[in-house]
Structure 1
């Protein structure tokens, strides 16, 4: 008999969230960001949920793009980091996979590679994130070289915001638009936070990511529920043991939690080897039998402890680590991280089922 732990994935919730993003996008088209195996939710599972409505997809790995093409998806697919080798470039062009171009090395590789089919591209500009991209002042030169190569089809321009979920986008957007708008090319700048907060930055293509999975890109400003998003992943387990503690007794490794009264402590079949954050402190919220309580002490590799003192629960009681009824954003905030990391960290040993 397997351990009582699993992740339930709701494709219809993903579809709902994507349609919400399209509605917010207005006239813009929406590239569903499905990188990292759809943030740990399953690439093909999520893509299938929006096959008939998706404007396009964005991801990192050429292998993932090829799996979408192999499954019959005909929408635009954008490689957000572009290509890394001549063979990748040829394969992307042959299968109509759009590539970001963000550096001189990629531009030169394109110029030197023989292609049987033109490659659609997005020129990525660095407007202040300082990760990838040409500086905006280079855009005209890059465009001239792309066109002179005779190897590109459609061209777009993109950038990525550093603070769309916080202090804002004004400086980056102004720098981007000064360079890109005069070209008349399609533009893509808005991630989930910008899609929600800055309608004037939608341009031709938006790139919803975390919101598709039911997470808020700015949980301190607006919760997923307030936005109208539904959780796609519910990470669930059960209580497998109960201990009675007296005041002064401790729980778990390093005895980081000490009871200040008589308590009932439940042991849950879930630990950091399953993808639960080890650094989640005492007090991280958890649902047991649908009742809200808290974790206690240090998370172990395979187990964690929770407070059963004031709730009706025992061995066999259901546990929701995050998902339906327990927002992943709230768990992430308590653990000092973001819901993106929770989703992507789901361990391979955890069974995944659709609901």
Structure 2
């Protein structure tokens, strides 16, 4: 871990990210790979992670919001780029002008894309999204014919280019779930309908991280890898990062702010939900829920301090929490590792997810903006 004297820091290992991208490409050797860098690359930093992913062979970038996509264009990323979470009145013109692929799930979105294309005199790059069973975004099968034929009519007049047909799995992180085969069948039917009607997409895609790892029949032309690219398993059922050939990219650590001896029966943190059972030593860790440490992990969150796993003692506060060292002594400024790859004995993001009753995606993504990101192994030759 970089010994930078910081209150708290998130170290981002770009060599690990590049290795993960290469491992994922090997899982889908006949498909292109989209590096999903939404939500600031799941908390890891969109620009450095996008650059590292492209260095490792990713050919597309993907974001949720148009604002995220436009920021990548402003940062100099000129290659294939898609965003999919649109609302009425969004920055359609800016996206069309920037050559960003926009996702369309319904007629209102197609109309706004066409209006933007007419206003700027450039055909909108449109990817039609099918709801094959997730029940979130996407066009229902009953409405698919209208959307497809309307998009083809817009393509004929030169305002739209249908660049993609796509969908998203609901339960790919639960291998064997009955919905997986049903969604694949629905996707194939909706693809066949669109292509028979005349659509000639550049890419067809449905595979997210778990499908990339476990469902080769779902790879089609492109796989969209998000959480796996950052070395986090989509779910324990899919496998551990090591079993999947991945390495966690983020290590979250803090400098111990204070160590003190307290007597038996001493309350710790708000509400005194933890009371010392004997005379002991307490260490103050200067990170809290404002930094993304989940308050739901109060009393359970694991931390490596002084070579041993400790648990959060009492409640996680906004800016700090306490661990009981059990009489051990460490010096102020000693490193407290909340999570990392795990190969030094430290907890992982999955350990924190279990402690907080959530998923590892949330653990890394929620790390706040006041936590500095420290990038290591930035040279792509590393």
User: Does TM, scored on the shorter chain, surpass 0.5?
Assistant: yes
For the pair 1:342 / 2:363, whether they are aligned, the reply is: yes
Following superposition, the deviation at residue 190 of structure 1 comes to 0.9
Residue by residue, what CA displacement relative to the aligned partner does 1:313-338 show, whole Å, maximum 9, x if unpaired?
33222111122433111112211122
Following superposition, the deviation at residue 244 of structure 1 comes to 2.9
Following superposition, the deviation at residue 83 of structure 1 comes to 6.3
Equivalence for 1:160 = 168
Equivalence for 1:77 = 81
- Tell me the secondary structure at the aligned position of residue 256 of structure 2: strand
Cα gap change, 1:47 to 1:111, in 2 (>3 Å): closer
CA distance in 2, matches of 1:302, 1:112: 47
Cα gap change, 1:310 to 1:195, in 2 (>3 Å): farther
For the pair 1:132 / 2:137, whether they are aligned, the reply is: yes
Following superposition, the deviation at residue 96 of structure 1 comes to 1.5
Cα gap change, 1:310 to 1:176, in 2 (>3 Å): farther
Residue by residue, what CA displacement relative to the aligned partner does 1:220-252 show, whole Å, maximum 9, x if unpaired?
541122212222221111222223344433321
Following superposition, the deviation at residue 24 of structure 1 comes to 1.0
- Tell me the secondary structure at the aligned position of residue 225 of structure 1: coil
Cα gap change, 1:83 to 1:152, in 2 (>3 Å): farther
Following superposition, the deviation at residue 3 of structure 1 comes to 5.3
CA distance in 2, matches of 1:293, 1:153: 56
Residue by residue, what CA displacement relative to the aligned partner does 1:1-29 show, whole Å, maximum 9, x if unpaired?
98521111122222111121111112111
CA distance in 2, matches of 1:128, 1:193: 17
Equivalence for 2:147 = 142
CA distance in 1, matches of 2:192, 2:19: 32
Stretch deviating more after TM superposition (194-203 or 283-292): 283-292
The within-5 A match list for 1:234-273 is: 234-273=251-290
CA distance in 1, matches of 2:328, 2:100: 53
- Tell me the secondary structure at the aligned position of residue 92 of structure 2: helix
Conserved? CA contact 1:81–1:101, under 8 Å: no
Equivalence for 2:233 = 216
- Name which of 305, 318, 343 aligns with 2:335: 318
Following superposition, the deviation at residue 84 of structure 1 comes to 3.9
Equivalence for 1:89 = 92
Gaps of 5+ in 1: none
CA distance in 2, matches of 1:259, 1:181: 66
Cα gap change, 1:82 to 1:310, in 2 (>3 Å): same
Task: Note the aligned Cα RMSD (angstroms).
Answer: 2.2
Aligned length: 354
CA distance in 2, matches of 1:250, 1:70: 51
Stretch deviating more after TM superposition (287-296 or 329-338): 287-296
Conserved? CA contact 2:303–2:337, under 8 Å: yes
The within-5 A match list for 1:4-19 is: 4-19=7-22
- Name which of 154, 170, 184 aligns with 1:173: 184
- Tell me the secondary structure at the aligned position of residue 49 of structure 2: helix
Conserved? CA contact 1:120–1:152, under 8 Å: yes
CA distance in 1, matches of 2:328, 2:19: 34
Conserved? CA contact 1:83–1:89, under 8 Å: no
Stretch deviating more after TM superposition (249-258 or 30-39): 249-258
